[in-house]
Amino acid sequence: MKYQPLNNELFILNRKNFSNRLKPCSIAIFHSNDEFPRNGDQNFIFKQNPDFFYLSGIDQEQSILLIFPDCPNPLYKEVLFLRQTSEHIAIWEGHKYTKEEARAASGIDSICWLSEYETILHTIINYAENVYINTNENDRYSHTVPYRDIRMLETLRVKYPLHNYERSALILRDLRVVKSDVEIEATKKACEITRDGFIRVLKFVKPGVAEYEIEAEITHEFLRQRATGHAYSPILASGKNANCLHYNDNNQVCHDGDVILFDFAAEYANYNADMSRTIPVNGRYTKRQRDVYNAVLRVMRQATQMLVAGTIWNEYHDEVGKIMTGELIGLGLLNKHDVDKQDPKMPLYKKYFMHGTSHHLGLDVHDFASRYKPFEVGNILTCEPGIYIPEEGFAVRIENDILITKNGNVDLMADIPVEADHIEEIMNS
C-alpha cells in the first residue's frame, strides 16, 4: 500500500459496533474481494472489499474474517485468516502481511493461515445458531458476477443446511454511513490531494492541450502524494463532451473558448473524495459560461445548507429541483409559463439537470447507505448540481464533499477554488 496505515482503533471500534448488532449466538463470515483476471497471466490491481476493510483494516487478497462474539472458545471470538507468505511469494509477488503486521493493522489477536480455515470454522460453527453472510446490497449494484462471499454461501448452505442465515449488509448499511474521526481524516486527506491536483491543472490548461495530458498531470500529483490513485475513472470533458455524464475517453484536444468539466478525485487509504469543477480553457469564461457557472454555484450553495441532520432525501431533492428551476428560468432555458403547467412527476428542470444532487461518500464513491433514512451527524455527502446544455455545446457541474456535524455541516472542499474569479486569477497568474 502507498498510504500510511490507518489507526487500528477504527477497525476495533467497527467490529465492536458490528458485534453489538448481531443476534445472540451468531457467527459472521467476511471474505476479501476476488482478484480479477485481466488477460494472459495478469490480474487487475487488487481492490479490497469495502466491508472487509471496514472491519479488519486488512488490504490483501485471499483473506477471511470470522466474528463470533459468543464463541465458547475465546480464541476464536475474532479470527483473521491470511495467505501464508513464503520466500517464494516474497520474491515473486512481494511483501504480504506477517502475523505480527496483521495483528497491528487490525487489532485482532488471533491470526491464522488460510490453510487452517476449514478446520477452525468446523470446530466452532456448530456452536452458533445464526451465520451472517455479507452480500453486496448497494442498490445501484446489479449482480452479474458471483463474488467470494456469495460463492462461499452456497458451499456453507450445503454443509450446514440447518443454520439460520442472516444478512450482514443490514447492519453495515447503518454503520458505514456514520463516519468516525479516523475516516473523516482519511477523507480530508483525499480531498487535500484532490485540491492539489486541481490547482496543478489550473496552471497547466491552455488552448491546445489534450484531455489526456490533463489526466496525466492529475495522476502524477495523486501518486506523488501517496494516493492509491483515482477514486473513479476521471472525467475530463471539454466542450460538448461534458454533455455525456460519464464521459471518460479523455482523448480530445481542448479548444480556445470552450469550458472543460472535470470530475476527478483521489482515493487515500481506501477512502474517496469526489470533486467536480468547470474551468475555461483559455483562462476566461465567456459571459454565458459565467452566467451558467454562477447559477450552478448558487444552487450548490443553497443545497449545501440543506445537508444537515434530519433532512429527508426526497424533500431535499424536491427543494433543490425548485431552486434549479428558478435558475433555469433566469438563464432563459425554461419558460415560467411552461413550468407553471408542468407535471410535478416529470419536472421540466430534469431536461438540463438529470442526475441526483447528492450521494453518500466513503469507502465506496457512491457509498452504501439507505435512501430512506434522514441524514445524520457523521454522514459525508457530495453536493453536485449541474446544468447540461447540448444545444450550446457545453455543461457545468460543481461538486464538493460535505460532512454533517452537530452544528450544521463542514465543506471538506472549502479550500478548493470554486469562484469563477478565483479560478481565472489562478489560471492567469
Of 55, 59, 47, 10, give the one whose Cα is nearest residue 28: 55
C-alpha cell at 148: 467470494
Report d(CA 52, CA 270) in Å as an integer: 11
Give the per-residue SS3 of 111-159.
EEEHHHHHHHHHHHHCCCCEEEECCCCCCCCCCCCCCHHHHHHHHHHHH
Binding pattern for the stretch 272-301 against ligand GLY, x by CB under 6 A and - elsewhere = --x---------------------------
Q: DSSP strand E in 150-256: where?
A: 164-167, 229-230, 235-238
- Looking at the Cβ atoms of 17 and 243, the one nearer to ligand GLY is 243
Q: Which of residues 307-366 bind Mn ion (CB under 5 A)?
A: none
Report which secondary-structure segment, H or E, holds 100.
helix 99-106
- Looking at the Cβ atoms of 149 and 263, the one nearer to ligand GLY is 263
Among 51, 149, 215, 263, the residue binding ligand GLY under the rule CB under 6 A is: 263
Q: Is 262 helix (H, G, I), strand (E, B) or coil?
A: strand
Q: Which of residues 367-406 bind Mn ion (CB under 5 A)?
A: 382, 384, 399
What DSSP assignment string belongs to 301-351?
Answer: HHHHHT-STT--HHHHHHHHHHHHHHHHHHTTSS-HHHHHT--TTS-GGGG
- Looking at the Cβ atoms of 325 and 382, the one nearer to Mn ion is 382
- Looking at the Cβ atoms of 289 and 382, the one nearer to Mn ion is 382
Q: Which of residues 248-267 bind Mn ion (CB under 5 A)?
A: 263
- When asked if residue 258 is in the footprint of ligand GLY (CB under 6 A), the reply is no
Asked if residues 280 and 259 have their Cβ atoms less than 8 Å apart, the reply is: yes
Binding pattern for the stretch 384-423 against ligand GLY, x by CB under 6 A and - elsewhere = x--------------x------------------------
How many chain residues are in contact with Mn ion, going by CB under 5 A? Answer: 5
Report d(CA 252, CA 38) in Å as an integer: 27
- Looking at the Cβ atoms of 274 and 424, the one nearer to ligand GLY is 274
C-alpha cell at 377: 451527524
Binding pattern for the stretch 335-374 against ligand GLY, x by CB under 6 A and - elsewhere = ------------------------x-----x---------
Binding pattern for the stretch 152-191 against ligand GLY, x by CB under 6 A and - elsewhere = ----------------------------------------
CB of 320 to ligand GLY, least distance (A): 15
Q: Which residues bind ligand GLY (CB under 6 A)?
A: 232, 263, 274, 359, 365, 384, 399
